[in-house]
Amino acid sequence: MIVNLRKVKGQLAAHKLMCLAEANPDLDKILDGLGIPPGAAEALDLQIAHGLFKEDRFEFDSYGEAVVAFVVNDPLGEFPLDVAVVSMADPSRYGTCNRQACLLGYESLERHSTGKPSAPCPIYQNPGEWLQKRGRGLCILDPIAAAPLLAAAKCHFASSDREHARELVDSGAIPIQRLWIRERWAA
């Protein structure tokens, strides 16, 4: 019998989140304070949890800092791959439980790849920004692991500014020919 360890680790992390998540009737109000629009909690199945950041990894711990947590499914949406978290104290700080999720927004990537050529797929700098946009567009968590998925996509991408564009190109995630800069594109 062959066991997919990525699948098992993802399911364990998702199960742990469901067990440790705090029920909070004011979740939309709390998230609004972070700039995350009403309705995003339900649409993205966001939860409040606590834990500790260890570099780019996160471990659940009831005495740790408060985070917004959510399950990241595999690219085909068949099983939980990982749990991503965003610090409530600093929304630009984030991590994953298993370091298996390489990007957020597989659905947006698929939609932009299969649709008629139109606007480029936006890429946000961190999961906090991505959540503020209700999960529309992409957020790259691991540029090296995400590069093959992005290369296979039949669309262009849009970074938020020159610095972000440079980071994306330098990381090897996206070739410069397929990257637009939103501040210049919108002008």
Average pLDDT value for residue range 78-102: 91
Q: With 50 as the cut, is the pLDDT of residue 187 above it?
A: no
pTM, 2 dp: 0.84
CB 45 within 8 A of CB 70: yes
Measured from the Cβ of residue 164, the count of other Cβ atoms closer than 10 Å reads: 18
DSSP 36-105: PPTTHHHHHT-EEEEEEEETTEEEE-TTSEEEEEEEEE-TTSSSEEEEEEEESS-TT-EEESSS---EE-
Mean pLDDT value across the chain: 86
CB 146 within 8 A of CB 103: yes
Tens digit of pLDDT for each residue in 93-113?
999 999 889 999 998 888 887
| pLDDT over 90 percentage in the chain | 47
User: What gap in Å lies between CA 49 and CA 18, rounded to an integer?
Assistant: 9
Tens digit of pLDDT for each residue in 24-77?
777 888 888 888 888 888 888 899 999 999 987 899 998 999 999 999 988 888
**pLDDT attached to residue 3:** 53
**pLDDT attached to residue 147:** 93
